[in-house]
Amino acid sequence: MTTPKKLTRAEQKALRPIQILDAAFEEFVRSGFSGTRVEDIAERVNVTKGTVYVYFETKEKLFEAMIHHFSVPFQELLETAEGLSGSATDRLLSILGLLYEQIAEDRTTRELTRLVISEGQRFPDLIDRHHDEFIAPIIAKVDGLILEGVASGEFRAIPVEFSDIVVAPILTTTVLRLIFDDRREPPPNKEAFLRAYFDLLLHGLLAKPH
Amino acid sequence: MTTPKKLTRAEQKALRPIQILDAAFEEFVRSGFSGTRVEDIAERVNVTKGTVYVYFETKEKLFEAMIHHFSVPFQELLETAEGLSGSATDRLLSILGLLYEQIAEDRTTRELTRLVISEGQRFPDLIDRHHDEFIAPIIAKVDGLILEGVASGEFRAIPVEFSDIVVAPILTTTVLRLIFDDRREPPPNKEAFLRAYFDLLLHGLLAKPH
Amino acid sequence: MTTPKKLTRAEQKALRPIQILDAAFEEFVRSGFSGTRVEDIAERVNVTKGTVYVYFETKEKLFEAMIHHFSVPFQELLETAEGLSGSATDRLLSILGLLYEQIAEDRTTRELTRLVISEGQRFPDLIDRHHDEFIAPIIAKVDGLILEGVASGEFRAIPVEFSDIVVAPILTTTVLRLIFDDRREPPPNKEAFLRAYFDLLLHGLLAKPH
Amino acid sequence: MTTPKKLTRAEQKALRPIQILDAAFEEFVRSGFSGTRVEDIAERVNVTKGTVYVYFETKEKLFEAMIHHFSVPFQELLETAEGLSGSATDRLLSILGLLYEQIAEDRTTRELTRLVISEGQRFPDLIDRHHDEFIAPIIAKVDGLILEGVASGEFRAIPVEFSDIVVAPILTTTVLRLIFDDRREPPPNKEAFLRAYFDLLLHGLLAKPH
DNA sequence: AATGAATGAGAGTTCATTCAT
DNA sequence: GATGAATGAACTCTCATTCAT
């Protein structure tokens, strides 16, 4: 059952930076950049703080490397989105579903969002890069789908500001879970939430057609 | 003989803690709790470190006092919401408009939101209190209005999870502005945004009635 | 006999930086710049190392301030030299005597010379300043006196390179005392040394006139 | 089959410690004992830290070995001095010329002098040995020649303190070059300097014979 | 012989907090 | 009330040294 602990030197060496990045994620999430001690990160990996500095020059560079390391999944999401087919509605809902899973339900991305909000002022380059690589392409994708749906007559003609609004329940869920964590009752299950979200998105609140 | 300064000694004395709280807000917003130095706060008020400790026992207590101090405006919002009249739709949109102004457009509330997200883990009591005093009543109010509209036939029958979704564009705008600050192009003006938001909320995305 | 220890706040405050500079001198002389711990300096003054940082931003700035502080006596030497009168020979010997006292016999200047030699590479600006303020004026003074003596027929016609040579026994004595400290027998007394020095300087080594 | 590298393995092996000592010299000269990192020395030889410790137990022992390694040339100087012939004046000037070349003009000896001055307190045994092996014999030699010249009537009768004074221009030139390095104009060429030095040494400063 | 990952004992520096004035 | 000198604990980062490979 248990994996044997014996690793070769080479394996251990390849593993170390990943272990440190994982530990850094947990500690930075727990305490923020300033509140985290390099020694706490080291202890999580059962090494001394000197070892952390073997792999990362400074605490700041470690933070940045950690953010990059955990931003990877976004890439895959964007690629998946490209392969979708079906009506504009189908594809829009598929993407929103994927985004919900990736951003709101995945703890890693959720906490990454916390760090982006809390440490963004100290690491503006990080934020810009995050925006250019992830946010902008996603927004563009959603924008494109809406325009496509409008052009095909599937959607009502709506102004571009809609993108943020369409995506809003996903980021809102993410942020509310970040704020209330375990204190509030856990959020409704994914299916129920998405059903309500999509229903409102497609049909609106009013009982009578306009 | 001498012209009195603008403030009497007593007035000055009463002002000091307020000045410190204001300065604390700016510095905590800029650098977070751990990243802020008590001395930076003091310098903003042109006093020395020691003076801050005359009014606040510790940095933590100063932070908490600052949060309470700036949380006041929510009270008024809730009271205003109570006085509304009209159809459920009218009252809902009025409340959402007020919330948008209060949360997304008001810099103070916006930055307070940042602190709630970033420092919540360190100050759980603060978050609980924030939830009980502000979030819960607002959610309850929106929930109530929706149920009322459903009961009156004004709204379609929808599950309770809708509350968060209905409010989502407001929190999302807030958070996006926190993250991208000046880097992204400024958000659309209030009227255009609210028009799009309310239009989508009431009618949904689809071109054809269901 | 003993001076009472009670100092007012203001006196203590004015004294502190001087005390620290004195302590810094002793420690930097003992261990060099890199080898000296700020804490050792602090302990000499019976304060904690935090206190040192109240007065000096960094160890480097403390070092530089210390060098400046102890370079003061040179100023006085130059002023004294200006006031001399008599034949070129008289004035030259007077200056050399003063230099011997100031550089070779005064422990402070001697050790300052050690620091200039050992830490000069790390603090080139300090050395340049030291050169411009002290070495260059002294050399110029000696140069001037020699040229004057040559012009008046008091001295033989000699090339300008002589300045360094004329002063050499002073710097050499300084350096030899720095190197051998207490290990070698103490140097001859001042009078005997200067007598020999001046005799050789004025008359040369040869028994027969040229 | 394969062309052998320039050095056999055995040659390479014998070379390593020499390479390390050379690199150590450069780094210790640049930064002093405390300021030098073993890793910097290793990098100069294109090996890693560990390799240095294969050959030298500690940084201190490496420093001492380096000093010994570069002190060798003095031996030859002393032997050359033994072989001189001619008048006391001729032999004295020959020795002083050799000393000038060896101490003031040779970069290695010059920088070794810097280390003797700056690190002497940390390595007193080194200094004592340096004194016994190099300084004392040279001083003795110069002393002997002067006494010889006095006995033969070639030199005036002068006290023994003269030795240091006679040699002073050499050490002074050395130290001034150490201090001012490239910042000051380069020293006069050897011939001009020695001519002036010897002229003053033999005839003194005064225009009229005594 | 050579490596370089890892260590651990500091070193410089910062800063919340105290308290005599 | 206000000060700011002083503290001391904690933090980031360094580096001589070790040792399994």
* Residue A4: pLDDT band with limits 50, 70, 90: very low
Which residue in chain A is spatially nearest to B113 when comparing CA positions? A179
The most confident of A160-169, B20-29, C201-210, by mean pLDDT = B20-29
Look at residue A170 in the predicted model and tell me its pLDDT: 96
Look at residue A1 in the predicted model and tell me its pLDDT: 40
Among residues C9, C158, C11, C184, the alpha carbon closest in space to that of C92 is found at: C158
User: Which bases on strand E have an atom closer than 7 Å to a protein beta carbon?
Assistant: 1-21
Q: Identify which of D149, D180, D197 has the shortest CB distance to residue C165.
A: D197
Look at residue B108 in the predicted model and tell me its pLDDT: 93
- Contact at CB, B117 and A30, closer than 8 angstroms: no
Nearby residues of C100 by Cβ (< 8 Å), 6 or more positions away: C170, C173, C190, C193, C194, C197
Look at residue B173 in the predicted model and tell me its pLDDT: 94
Q: Is pLDDT larger for residue D133 or for residue A11?
A: D133
Cα distances (angstroms) measured from residue D140 to each of B30, B153, C31, C197: 73, 118, 32, 19
Look at residue A48 in the predicted model and tell me its pLDDT: 95
Q: Which of D150, D161, D178 best tests the C interface by mutation, with the highest count of C CBs <10 A?
A: D161
- Nearest nucleotide to C12 (CA to C1') is F5
The predicted model gives D26-48 an average pLDDT of 96
Contact by Cβ (8 Å): D91, D82:
no
C1' (F6) to CA (B23) span, angstroms = 26
Among residues B171, B173, B203, the alpha carbon closest in space to that of B188 is found at: B173
Look at residue B1 in the predicted model and tell me its pLDDT: 46
Give B38-82 pLDDT, tens digit per residue: 999 999 999 999 999 999 999 999 999 999 999 876 778 888 888
pLDDT for A2 beyond 50: no
The whole-chain average pLDDT of chain A stands at 87
Q: Is pLDDT larger for residue D68 or for residue C77?
A: D68
Give A63-95 pLDDT, tens digit per residue: 999 999 998 777 788 888 888 999 999 999 999
Share of chain C above pLDDT 90, in %: 57
Look at residue C1 in the predicted model and tell me its pLDDT: 42
Quick check: B54 CB within 7 A of strand F? yes
Residues of A in contact with B33 (CB under 8 A): 32, 34-35
Angle, alpha carbons D153-D157-D161 (nearest 5°): 135
The predicted model gives A125-145 an average pLDDT of 87
Among residues C162, C58, C181, the alpha carbon closest in space to that of C111 is found at: C181
Quick check: A41 CB within 7 A of strand F? no
* Residue A126: pLDDT band with limits 50, 70, 90: confident
Nearby residues of C51 by Cβ (< 8 Å), 6 or more positions away: C16, C20, C42, C45
Q: Which residues of chain B have pLDDT under 50?
A: 1-3, 210
Quick check: C12 CB within 7 A of strand F? yes
Place of tokens 């005093």: B133
Give A17-53 pLDDT, tens digit per residue: 999 999 999 999 999 999 999 999 999 999 999 999 9
Look at residue A185 in the predicted model and tell me its pLDDT: 64
Q: Please, what are the domains in chain C?
A: 1-56 (1.10.10.60), 70-203 (1.10.357.10)
Look at residue A207 in the predicted model and tell me its pLDDT: 67
pLDDT for C114 beyond 70: yes
- Contact at CB, A202 and B204, closer than 8 angstroms: yes
- Contact at CB, B161 and A192, closer than 8 angstroms: yes
Look at residue A13 in the predicted model and tell me its pLDDT: 76
* Residues in A 145-204 with any Cβ partner in B closer than 8 A: 146, 149, 153-156, 158-159, 161-162, 164-169, 171-173, 175-176, 178-181, 183-184, 188, 192-193, 195-197, 199-204
The most confident of A8-22, A188-202, D155-169, by mean pLDDT = A188-202
Contact by Cβ (8 Å): D9, D95:
no
Q: Which of C130, C197, C200 best tests the D interface by mutation, with the highest count of D CBs <10 A?
A: C200
C1' (E10) to CA (C120) span, angstroms = 26
C1' (E4) to CA (D38) span, angstroms = 14
pLDDT for C73 beyond 90: no
- Quick one: tokens of A21? 């990045």
pLDDT for A162 beyond 80: no
Among residues B27, B24, B13, the alpha carbon closest in space to that of B58 is found at: B24
